[in-house]
Amino acid sequence: MKATLKSAEDKMIKAVSSLENNFASIRTGRATPAVLDKIMVDYYGTPTAIQAMAAISVAEARVLVIQPWDKSSLKEIEKALLASDLGITPMNDGNVIRLNFPQPTEESRKETCKKVKKYGEEAKVAVRNVRRDTLDKFKTMKKNGEITEDDQKDAEKKLQKVTDKYCDEIDKAVADKEKEVMTV
């Protein structure tokens, strides 16, 4: 029973961690290399992460500089950036690619907040699904005579506490990210 609870908590931790990864790729007003995490470049027929092909640095608060180690990959990186949902046109000077992040408008910030809430809700659904599956396991264990009814009720209470803890953590992460997005 303890192993089942531990397994459920591990899965909930993964849901929160996945949410944080999604938040890292959300574009706010500042330039951050994490926005490029999900962009793959077709490099000699193999999808490759930009980070594996180039040095990425923040030149100024709103400028990201991508300097490929292989200059011949510059066009492919540019093509991948244009095809992505980043919404920024790369500037290629033959040596490096610059990405200028514009100051987000009020409307685009609100759209970003909607995306943040959506990711938060998806993470909460994942946590609740883990709870539901674990409750089913407890019911099966009770039916098979592995645990008593009191053990089942106790385990369900502990599981609910863990679920509430991670849902609160998700709510806090969403609120923090919304505050970051709405800050001018």
Distance CA 128, CA 153 (A): 18
First to last CA, the chain: 49
| Contact assessment for residue 159 and residue 131, using Cβ atoms and an 8 Å cutoff | yes
Neighbours of 23 (CB within 10 A): 21
Per-residue pLDDT tens for 29-42?
A: 677 888 888 889 98
- Among all chains, which residue has been given the structure tokens 């303890």? 2
Query: What is the token pair recorded at 183?
Result: 């800050």
CA distances from 4 to 1, 124, 125, 160 (A): 5, 19, 19, 13
| CATH number for domain 2-24+105-182, candidates 1.10.132.20, 1.10.10.10, 1.25.60.10, 3.30.70.1560 | 1.10.132.20
Q: Where are the domains of the chain?
A: 2-24+105-182, 33-100
CATH number 3.80.30.20 is the correct assignment for the domain at 33-100: no
Task: Give residue-wise pLDDT tens across range 65-99.
Answer: 999 998 888 999 999 988 887 778 899 988 899 99
pLDDT tens digit string along 143-181?
999 999 999 999 999 999 999 999 999 999 999 999 888
Answer yes or no: same fold for 2-24+105-182 and 33-100: no
pTM for this predicted structure: 0.74
Contact 27, 112 (CB under 8 A): yes
